[in-house]
Structure 1
Amino acid sequence: MFALPGLWAIFTVVAAAAQTARNAMQRNLIATLGTIGATHVRFLYGFPFALIFLGIVNAAVPGAAPKIHGSFLLWTTFGAIAQIGATALMLAAMKERSFVVTTAYMKTEPVLVALVGVFVLGDHLAATAWVAIIIATAGIVLMSWKPGAEMAVRPAILGIASAALFGLAAVGFRGAIRSLEAESFITAATTTLAWGLGIQTLILTTYLLVTDRAGLMAIFRAWRPSIGAGFLGAFASQFWFLAFALETVAKVRTLALIEVLFAGLVSGAIIKQATSPRDAAGIVLIVIGVGVLVSLG
């Protein structure tokens, strides 16, 4: 299926915005549901929306549904498990540090993702793309680690570990999408989303049934605030997967660094506080890196 040049960038920006809103909603659920419970919300309540998306795509997009095979299931399961761990670590970090700082820690992932994408998926990156990734990542580092400030080691480790797992999840899901012989990239992406969320829902529901049935019941009782997080999670993932279907993981995840700016807006850090020269320099580096990357097509 033909895709317009630069469409992956639009998908990525939409996904980043939706993910920022979802992360904020999930963070608010930690107090009542705990880290694992708040993690499960995005999967349990997102899965029905993924099925709706898949039904709409199958009805609207021409072509037969892709055949599910072993390689697809392996890639999807790998991505699903990595994403579960990444989400849990992210929420654990958010319990100890601010929303925007945790988001910044997590956005140290592009260089790692680029390396994994090259060696595991065979993605090709031009030298200019590598430069753009490094510049944008340097901007995140500049914003995140303030000179003279006390370094909170535990949330930093949690946030960076979360970033690594999110990167591995992205590689897994792109591998799954590419393994499907679908006539449309939209169908391949949406099929992968539905299977991924289904696997995640099964894993965490089973885990909570065995280890914490009271916690699982609490998730069901908190359905009102959880539906919004579930929808935004599925909506964000839909656009992430569409971007992964069209472009390398490294380029998608580097453009996703704009999520840090969105997080600043959500937390009020940019609106209510003056931007320091260091933060301004970091933002400039992010914008330059992302701008160079998008200009490459």
Structure 2
Amino acid sequence: MLWAIFTLIAAAAQTVRNAMQRELTATLGTVGATHVRFLFGFPFAILFLAGVLIVTGQGWPSTPAMFWPWVVFGAVTQIAATATMLSVMGERSFVVAYAYIKTEPVQVAIFGLIFLGDHVTPMLAAAVVIATAGVILISLKPGAGKTTTTRSTVIGLGSGALFALSAIGYRGAILSLGHPHFVLSATYTLAVGLVMQAAMLSLYLWLRDPPVLRAIARAWRPSLFAGFMGAFASEFWFLAFAIATAASVRTLALVEVLFAQAVTHFWFKQPTTPREIGGVVLVVFGVLLLVWSY
């Protein structure tokens, strides 16, 4: 059950990182805020890799040819998924789009079965569907239907699919290494992925929108923290992907919504509605079913 501990740590760190990115979107724009997690994250990923090599005493992993298509696929789809999600955060239809984004675990289970042959047991499938239904119930506020548009539906489902494909790409890259030390495989894949993403987005902004790069440089203090939290969260996501199916990891990751509900209720003193309580019960039941299936 080590994968579950890794996932819970990653989900908590991602909650912090998402909050930082939302604030940066106002000053840096969608692409700029997306770039922050990669540009300021890859140095920390390299430090993580150096630490793992030193502590484990392992040699540099040999990289088979199949590693590169998987890691490039994971890197590109993650950039697209993050940018797509940030692009709708300020819109009235974001609540609806967010609910559709959270269909990611269902899509991960399907893609994992197709591309990696990850086995989906009946109990795991039930856990994925129940927990996802709970998150959607929590996310769809009263009156959200009034803001439902074809665009929000397409963006939400598309972003969820991209996040799902990214998880599959990175898990495929980790498994393709075939290294006996899963920590090294996960950390190496993370470092390579973040370096690629930082290079791709830096080149794009240098060619298309150089002022954004200057704005990122000026906002280096909050960007540095967001980058660290992004790399820290990703490290634990990758560790979990190395030893469990992507569907299991991304379903348990839905506890992130429970963290947000807890902060809203206990910190901001906002009441919890019966609908939200029902959604929480479904998420908890789905997660318990998931853990029990192991």
Instruction: State the TM-score bracket (shorter-chain normalisation).
Output: over 0.9
Question: For 1:72 and 1:79, how far apart are their aligned partners in 2?
Answer: 11
Moved more, 98-107 or 148-157: 98-107
Counterpart position of 2:174: 177
Q: Does residue 192 of structure 2 align to residue 191 of structure 1?
A: no
Counterpart position of 1:125: 120
Counterpart position of 2:281: 284
Is contact 2:103–2:157 with CA below 8 Å preserved after alignment? yes
Question: For 1:17 and 1:159, how far apart are their aligned partners in 2?
Answer: 22
- Aligned residue type for 2:155: L
Question: For 1:102 and 1:263, how far apart are their aligned partners in 2?
Answer: 17
Question: For 1:32 and 1:173, how far apart are their aligned partners in 2?
Answer: 30
Counterpart position of 2:136: 141
After superposition, the Cα gap between the structure-2 partners of 1:211 and 1:119, relative to the gap in structure 1 and judged at 3 Å, is: same
Counterpart position of 2:19: 24
Task: Tell me the SS of whatever aligns to 1:96.
Answer: coil
Question: For 2:98 and 2:269, how far apart are their aligned partners in 1?
Answer: 18
Match of 2:222 among 222, 225, 234: 225
Counterpart position of 1:3: none
Q: Over residues 196-228 of structure 1, what are the superposed CA-to-partner deviations in whole Å (9 max), with x where a residue is unaligned?
A: 001101100000010011111111111011000
Is contact 2:71–2:173 with CA below 8 Å preserved after alignment? yes
Counterpart position of 1:247: 244
Question: For 1:232 and 1:159, how far apart are their aligned partners in 2?
Answer: 24
Spell out the pairing of 1:81-120 with structure 2 (5 A cutoff): 81-96=76-91, 104-120=99-115
- Aligned residue type for 1:19: Q
What's the TM-score, normalizing by structure 1?
Answer: 0.93
Counterpart position of 2:51: 56
Moved more, 249-258 or 91-100: 91-100
Q: Over residues 140-182 of structure 1, what are the superposed CA-to-partner deviations in whole Å (9 max), with x where a residue is unaligned?
A: 2222234554234344543332221111000000000000021
Is contact 2:70–2:170 with CA below 8 Å preserved after alignment? yes
Question: For 2:100 and 2:261, how far apart are their aligned partners in 1?
Answer: 13
After superposition, the Cα gap between the structure-2 partners of 1:156 and 1:19, relative to the gap in structure 1 and judged at 3 Å, is: farther
Counterpart position of 2:10: 15
Identity %: 57
After superposition, the Cα gap between the structure-2 partners of 1:211 and 1:109, relative to the gap in structure 1 and judged at 3 Å, is: same
- Aligned residue type for 2:286: G
Question: For 1:286 and 1:97, how far apart are their aligned partners in 2?
Answer: 25
Q: Over residues 53-95 of structure 1, what are the superposed CA-to-partner deviations in whole Å (9 max), with x where a residue is unaligned?
A: 0000000114322112321111000000000001101111212
- Aligned residue type for 1:68: T
Q: Over residues 262-296 of structure 1, what are the superposed CA-to-partner deviations in whole Å (9 max), with x where a residue is unaligned?
A: 23345669842211111111110000001110122
Q: Does residue 259 of structure 2 align to residue 262 of structure 1?
A: yes
Counterpart position of 2:200: 203
Match of 2:290 among 286, 289, 293: 293
Question: For 2:19 and 2:94, how far apart are their aligned partners in 1?
Answer: 8
Is contact 2:94–2:152 with CA below 8 Å preserved after alignment? no
Give ranges in structure 2 of 5+ residues lacking alignment.
none
After superposition, the Cα gap between the structure-2 partners of 1:100 and 1:268, relative to the gap in structure 1 and judged at 3 Å, is: farther
Is contact 1:35–1:88 with CA below 8 Å preserved after alignment? yes
Q: Does residue 32 of structure 2 align to residue 40 of structure 1?
A: no
TM-superposed deviation, 1:103 = 5.1
RMSD: 1.9
Counterpart position of 2:147: 151
Is contact 2:9–2:233 with CA below 8 Å preserved after alignment? yes
- Aligned residue type for 2:292: S
TM-superposed deviation, 1:190 = 0.0
Aligned length: 292
Give ranges in structure 1 of 5+ residues lacking alignment.
1-5
Is contact 1:104–1:260 with CA below 8 Å preserved after alignment? no
Moved more, 38-47 or 106-115: 106-115
Question: For 2:204 and 2:237, how far apart are their aligned partners in 1?
Answer: 27
Is contact 1:185–1:245 with CA below 8 Å preserved after alignment? yes
